[in-house]
Every structure is written in structure tokens, then in C-alpha cells.
Amino acid sequence: MEKGKIETMRLEIESLSKNEEFARVVVAVFMSRLDPTLEEIDDVKTAVSEAVTNAVIHGYENGNGIIAVEAEAQEDGRILTVRIADRGTGIKDVKKAMEPMYTSDPSGERSGMGFSFMEAFMDEVEVESEPGKGTVVTMKKRIGG
């Protein structure tokens, strides 16, 4: 990778649970240009998995839709930025949704720890959402930092 250069990748996948694994592997391969450790790769894969799963289950409520996965590798500072976006139901109260153990799943099968895991494994997590318009989760991780 050239000094100072920013490289990007964009992928669109259907909102199917089976595509979560594909998304996290694609991001892991893309981030390899920053020479990450295995632990850093695992951290990012876990965060991507949680974000895509949220889009499938909560954003589209297991229905049809498209999830955009974008990644940006910045050589200076060795920063990986990952964005997971859907055009699903959106989140009414982002602050409340990001609280540990909060879930909008009435079945009680979901733990409500998705955003907590993202925050634990990434250096920054930002969530933008609007009811009826969708959600964008932006996560950053310093590689080798």
C-alpha cells in the first residue's frame, strides 16, 4: 500500500443470515493490507458479524433487503474504518439501543449485546439511524496501535 493512500472496498449483500460470514471474511481479507495481528482480525470479524446480524434481524426483521459493507484502509495511522448500512426499520432511540442487554426482540432469544461487542472489539463505534430509513454503523480500529 502506498504511503498516505486510502484504499476502499464496497460490497452489497442480501439480508440473509448466511451472508454474515461472507461479509466478515471479505473485510478480514481487505484489512490484511494493513498487516494486522490475528487478534486484530478476530476483533474486526466479530464486530462486523454483530453489525451485519443486527441489520438482518432488526433492520430488516429477517425480511428482504440489501446490506452495504464498506471498508477503508488508511496507511497513515494504520486505521481501518468499516461501515455497515441498511435501509430497514431504523432505530428510534440509538442511545437506548446501545445500552448493554437492551433488545427489541420480544422473543427473548437475543442477548442485546451486539453494540456492546462492537464497542469492546473496535476503537470507535458510531451509530446513525432514522426510523423507517435505516441504520449506518461506522466502526474504526487502529491496526498495530
Question: Are the C-beta atoms of 84 and 22 separated by less than 8 Å?
Answer: no
Q: Which pLDDT does position 107 carry in this prediction?
A: 53
User: What's the pLDDT at 137?
Assistant: 96
Q: Which of 7, 110, 119, 142 is catalytic?
A: 110
Q: What percent of the chain has pLDDT over 90?
A: 67
> Is 19 annotated in the active site?
no
Exactly one of 54, 70, 78, 83 is catalytic; name it: 54
Out of 20, 40, 50, 70, pick the active-site residue. 50
Q: What is the mean pLDDT of residues 100-109?
A: 54
Residue 54 is among the residues annotated as catalytic for this protein: yes
**Locus of grid cell 446480524:** 53
Report the pLDDT averaged over residues 102-116: 57
Provide mean pLDDT across the span 58-73: 94
Q: Is 24 a catalytic residue?
A: no
Give the per-residue pLDDT at 116. 80
Q: Which amino acid is it at 92?
A: K
